[in-house]
Amino acid sequence: MTLKADWVEIERLFHESVDLPVKERQALLASASASVRAEVESLLKTEDEAVFVARPDRLAADLLDQPSALSTSERIGKYQIESLITVGGMGEVYLARNQSGCPVALKILRRHLVASPQAVDRFQTEVRAASALDDLNIVTVYESGDSPAGLFLAMEWVEGPTFRQLMAAGAAEISDAIDWGEQAASALAAAHSADILHRDIKPENIILRKDGVVKILDFGLARLAGPVRIEPHSTGASGTISGTLSGTLLYMSPEILRGETASSASDVFSLGALFYELWTGRHPFAGETPLDVYEAIECRNVAAPSAMQPAIPLEIDSLILRMLDRDPALRPPAHEVRDVFSRFSART
Amino acid sequence: MDPQGEVTGLLVAWGKGDQNALNELMPLVYNELHRMARRAWSAQDQGNTMQPTALINEAYLRLADVENASFQNRCHFFAVACTAMRQILVNHARSRLAGKRGSGRVPVSLDDVQLAVHQEAAQVVALHDALERLQAVDERKSRVIEMRYFGGLSIEETAEALGVSIITVNRDFRLARTWLMREMNGEQS
C-alpha cells in the first residue's frame, strides 16, 4: 500500500537506489522509516521487464486481432511464407514451403509472449518432447527455431476438417466413430508411453486428414498454455477467470478444475468427453454459462451414451462412461481404450 | 459551428482552465477515435495496421483547426486523445473477456491462442485498474503510462504533451511501470 504522504520520499529513494549494488542500497535505505523502506524494497525487487518489453502499439494491435502478419514470400529460417491460416493473440499459423517446395505449417509465437527466459526454456523443452513423438496419429514437429518475427515451429501440414467441424454435422456414423476413436486413443497411448501428456485434448485440436488418418495437433505443446494462463493473483480481477477458461472448460477433467496436477488420466477424461459428443451429438457437460459447465463436470451424473444412441455397442457405452469417471484412478488407460476400439474395428 | 472550430474552441477554453470544456471535448474525441479505430482495425483492412499513435494524429488533423491551432492546443489534444484511446482499448478488452467476439474475424482454432488473447485482454484491464490506483498517488505518472502505453506516444511526445522535460518523463516512466508491475503481481507490501 503506497501512502501519498510518503510518495515524494519513496520516489527519491527509488531513483537513488535503483541502479546501485544491493549493499549500497541497504545503506541508503537504512535511514528511512520502516514503511517507506518496505515500499521501496518491494519496488526494487519487482521485475518490470516481462510486460513492458512489448511495444505498446504492438500489444494494442494484437489485442484487436490485428496480426503483425508476415507477408507472402517472406522467409523464416528455411521456410517461405505462403499464406496466413489462423491468427490469435499468441501468434499466427502460416502455410509455408520448405526448400523442396513441400508444404509445412509454421507457427510463430509472438515475441512478447515468450519474452521471459523461463517461457522460452519451457517452449524448447516441450518442442523436444513433441519431436520425440513419432506416431502416425500425431502431427510431426520438424524443427523449431528463432527468427526476427519470434520463435517458430515447423510442423507437418495436415489438410482436413477438425473434429469440431465434423461434429457440427451431428453424431457420427458408428463405423467412423469406431475408427476415429481407435486412432485418437492410439495417439494418446503412444504419447503416454513416452511420458508425454497433451493437456488440452479437444475437438479443435484433432484433425481428420483427407485420407482418413486422424491427427492430434500440438502434442506436448499444450503446456505452452502454462505461461499464459491467468492466475487469480496476477490479475486481481476475479471476473476474468471464467472468461479465460471458457474455451477449454468443456473438456477439462475435474482434477484440473480443482487445480490439481494433470496426469495421463486427465487426457483420457478429455478424450472421453469428446467421444461422448461424437457418438451422441451432445456434450456430456453442456451448460449455459461457464459456471454451469464447471458444476456439471464436478457433479453431474452423466447419462449413458446408449440412452441417446441406442445403436452404440455396450462395451463402448461403458468404456466412455469409465473414461468420464470423476476418480482418475478408475479411468481406463489410453492403451486399453485403443484396444477396445481395435476389437470393434476388426469386426467391421 | 463546424467540428474543427468547435474542437479548437474547446481546446482553447480548456487551456484557459475551463473544466467544462474538457467534459465537452472528451466525447467528441472519443467518438471520432472510436469510429476511426473500428474502421482501421476491421478485418477488411487487415493489411493496413493503424497504430494508436497514427490514429490520434489523424484524429487531430480531422478534428482540430490545425492552421490556427497553437502548439499548446496540440499538446492538449494529445492528452485528451490518449485518455480516449485508453477507454477504447479497455472497453474492447472488457468485451473480449465477456466473450463477445468481434465480427468477421479469422477463426481461431488453437487454444493457447485463445488463452493468450484473454490473457492480453485481462492484462489491459488489470493495467487500467492499477493505473487508477496510481492516479490517486501520483496523477502525472499515471498520465505518462496512459500516453506511452495506451496512446503509443514516444517519450519525447509524452514530454511535449505534459509540458515536462524528457528526463522527468523517463524517471516517471521507470518508477510508474515498476510500481504498476508490483501492483499487478499482487505483491503489495
Q: How far apart are CA A8 and CA B145, in angstroms?
A: 18
Give per-residue pLDDT as tens, A247-294: 357 888 888 777 677 789 999 999 999 999 999 988 998 876 656 777
Q: What is the pLDDT of residue B49?
A: 47
Provide, as residue numbers in chain A, all residues whose Cβ is less than 8 Å from the Cβ of B150.
56, 60
Q: Assign 3-class secondary structure to chain A.
A: CCCHHHHHHHHHHHHHHCCCCHHHHHHHHCCCCHHHHHHHHHHHCCCCHHHHCCCHHHHHHHHCCCCCCCCCCCEECCEEEEEEEEECCCEEEEEEECCCCCEEEEEEEEHHHHCCHHHHHHHHHHHHHHHHCCCCCECCEEEEEEECCEEEEEEECCCCCEHHHHHCCCCCCHHHHHHHHHHHHHHHHHHHHCCCCCCCCCHHHEEECCCCCEEECCCCCHHHHHHHCCCHHHHCCCCHHHHHHCCCHHHCCHHHHCCCCCCHHHHHHHHHHHHHHHHHCCCCCCCCCHHHHHHHHHHCCCCCHHHCCCCCCHHHHHHHHHHCCCCHHHCCCHHHHHHHHHHHHHHC
In chain A, the number of structural domains is 3
The residue among A71 and A213 whose pLDDT is bigger is A213
Q: A217, A228, A242, A245: best mutation site toward chain B, by most B Cβ within 10 Å?
A: A228
Cross-strand pairs, A92: A87, A108
CA atoms within 13 A on the CB side of A258: 13
Please, what sign has the CA dihedral across residues A325, A327, A332, A335? positive
Mean pLDDT, rounded, of chain A: 77
Domain ranges of chain B: 3-184
Provide, as residue numbers in chain B, all residues whose Cβ is less than 8 Å from the Cβ of A243.
97-99, 118, 122
B19 Cβ contact list (under 8 Å, min separation 6): none
Provide, as residue numbers in chain B, all residues whose Cβ is less than 8 Å from the Cβ of A59.
120, 124
Q: Answer yes or no: do A204 and A145 share one domain.
A: no
Q: How far apart are CA A190 and CA A62, in angstroms?
A: 36
Report CB contact under 8 Å: B181, A46.
Answer: yes
pLDDT for residue A97 is more than 50: yes
Helix (H) or strand (E) holding B89: helix B71-97
Average pLDDT over residues B52-81: 78
Cross-strand pairs, A83: A95
Q: How far apart are CA B181 and CA A52, in angstroms?
A: 9
CA atoms within 13 A on the CB side of A304: 12
Q: How far apart are CA B62 and CA B56, in angstroms?
A: 10
Q: What is the pLDDT of residue A226?
A: 35
Q: What is the CATH number of the domain that holds A194?
A: 1.10.510.10
Q: What is the pLDDT of residue A51?
A: 44
Q: What is the pLDDT of residue B103?
A: 36
Report CB contact under 8 Å: A56, B148.
Answer: yes
Report CB contact under 8 Å: A243, B118.
Answer: yes
- Tell me which of A156, A176, A200 is where a domain ends: A156
Average pLDDT over residues A20-33: 85
Query: Which among A14, A93, A237 has the least Cβ separation from residue B126?
Result: A237
> Which range, A27-36, A293-302, B180-189, is most confident?
A27-36
Going by their DSSP bridges, the two strands A103-110 and A79-87 should be labelled as unpaired
Q: Which of A64-68, A239-243, A327-331, B110-114 has the lowest mean pLDDT?
A: A239-243
B27 touching A (Cβ < 8 Å): no
Count of positions (residues) in chain B: 189
ipTM of the complex: 0.72
- Tell me which of A156, A174, A202 is where a domain ends: A156
Decide if A126 is inside a domain.
yes
pLDDT for residue A167 is more than 70: yes
Average pLDDT over residues A16-42: 86
Q: A240, A256, A291: best mutation site toward chain B, by most B Cβ within 10 Å?
A: A240
- The answer to whether the beta carbons of residues A166 and A172 sit under 8 Å apart is yes
Q: How far apart are CA A325 and CA B96, in angstroms?
A: 34
Query: Residue A30 sits in which domain range?
Result: 4-46
Average pLDDT over residues A142-171: 84
Q: Answer yes or no: do A141 and A204 share one domain.
A: no
Q: What is the pLDDT of residue B50?
A: 55
Give the confidence band of B156 by pLDDT, cuts at 50, 70, 90.
confident
Q: What is the CATH number of the domain that holds A81?
A: 3.30.200.20
Q: Which residue numbers of A are catalytic?
A: 200
Q: What is the pLDDT of residue A345?
A: 84
CA atoms within 13 A on the CB side of A39: 22
Decide if A148 is inside a domain.
yes
Going from the C-alpha of A215 to that of each of A128, A138, A338, A344, the distances in angstroms are 19, 5, 15, 20
Q: What is the pLDDT of residue A112?
A: 52
Of the candidates A29, A19, A42, A41, the residue with the CA atom closest to the CA atom of residue B182: A42
- CA angle (B120 as vertex; B31, A129 as ends), nearest 5: 155
Provide, as residue numbers in chain A, all residues whose Cβ is less than 8 Å from the Cβ of B98.
243
Query: Which among A162, A200, A233 has the least Cβ separation from residue B186?
Result: A233
Q: Answer yes or no: do A313 and A180 share one domain.
A: yes
Task: List all residues of chain A from 313 to 332 with a beta carbon under 8 Å from chain B.
Answer: none
Average pLDDT over residues B50-65: 76
> Which range, A144-148, A154-158, B15-19, is most confident?
A154-158
Query: Which among A11, A91, A234 has the least Cβ separation from residue B175?
Result: A11
Q: What is the pLDDT of residue B6?
A: 81
- The answer to whether the beta carbons of residues A10 and A2 sit under 8 Å apart is yes
Q: What is the pLDDT of residue B3?
A: 66
The residue among B60 and A36 whose pLDDT is bigger is A36
Q: What is the pLDDT of residue A306?
A: 94
The residue among B5 and A281 whose pLDDT is bigger is A281
Mean pLDDT, rounded, of chain B: 75
Give the confidence band of B74 by pLDDT, cuts at 50, 70, 90.
confident
Q: B57, B91, B111, B124: best mutation site toward chain A, by most A Cβ within 10 Å?
A: B111
pLDDT for residue B100 is more than 70: no
Q: How far apart are CA B118 and CA B114, in angstroms?
A: 6
C-alpha cell, A14? 527509488
Decide if A234 is inside a domain.
no
C-alpha cell, A2? 503506497
Q: Answer yes or no: do A265 and A131 share one domain.
A: no
Q: Answer yes or no: do A21 and A107 share one domain.
A: no
The residue among B64 and A281 whose pLDDT is bigger is A281
Report CB contact under 8 Å: B106, A229.
Answer: no
Q: What is the pLDDT of residue B186?
A: 63
Q: What is the pLDDT of residue A56?
A: 45
- Tell me which of A108, A136, A156 is where a domain ends: A156
Q: B95, B112, B128, B140: best mutation site toward chain A, by most A Cβ within 10 Å?
A: B112
Q: How far apart are CA A159 and CA A156, in angstroms?
A: 10
Going by their DSSP bridges, the two strands A75-76 and A150-156 should be labelled as unpaired
Q: Answer yes or no: do A186 and A261 share one domain.
A: yes
A59 touching B (Cβ < 8 Å): yes
Q: Answer yes or no: do A324 and A185 share one domain.
A: yes
Q: What is the pLDDT of residue A339?
A: 97
Give per-residue pLDDT as tens, B85-96: 888 878 777 776
Query: Which among B49, B99, B178 has the least Cβ separation from residue A43?
Result: B178
pLDDT for residue A52 is more than 80: no
Q: Answer yes or no: do A324 and A212 share one domain.
A: yes
Our CA-based measurement puts residue B188 at a distance from the nearest CA of chain A, in whole angstroms, of 6
Query: Which among A63, A204, A239 has the least Cβ separation from residue B120?
Result: A63
Average pLDDT over residues B63-68: 74
B49 touching A (Cβ < 8 Å): yes
Task: List all residues of chain B from 146 to 175 with a beta carbon under 8 Å from chain A.
Answer: 148-150, 152, 171, 174-175
Q: Answer yes or no: do A172 and A256 share one domain.
A: yes
Give the confidence band of B117 by pLDDT, cuts at 50, 70, 90.
low
Report CB contact under 8 Å: B108, A86.
Answer: yes
Provide, as residue numbers in chain A, all residues whose Cβ is less than 8 Å from the Cβ of B89.
60, 63
pLDDT for residue A174 is more than 60: yes
pLDDT for residue A10 is more than 60: yes
Helix (H) or strand (E) holding B189: none
Q: Answer yes or no: do A128 and A179 share one domain.
A: no
Q: What is the pLDDT of residue A103?
A: 92
Q: What is the pLDDT of residue A111?
A: 57
Give per-residue pLDDT as tens, A195-231: 888 888 888 889 999 999 999 987 655 443 332 232 2
Q: Answer yes or no: do A113 and A250 share one domain.
A: no
The residue among A159 and B96 whose pLDDT is bigger is A159
Report CB contact under 8 Å: B184, A246.
Answer: no
- The answer to whether the beta carbons of residues B22 and B9 sit under 8 Å apart is no
Report CB contact under 8 Å: A228, B111.
Answer: no
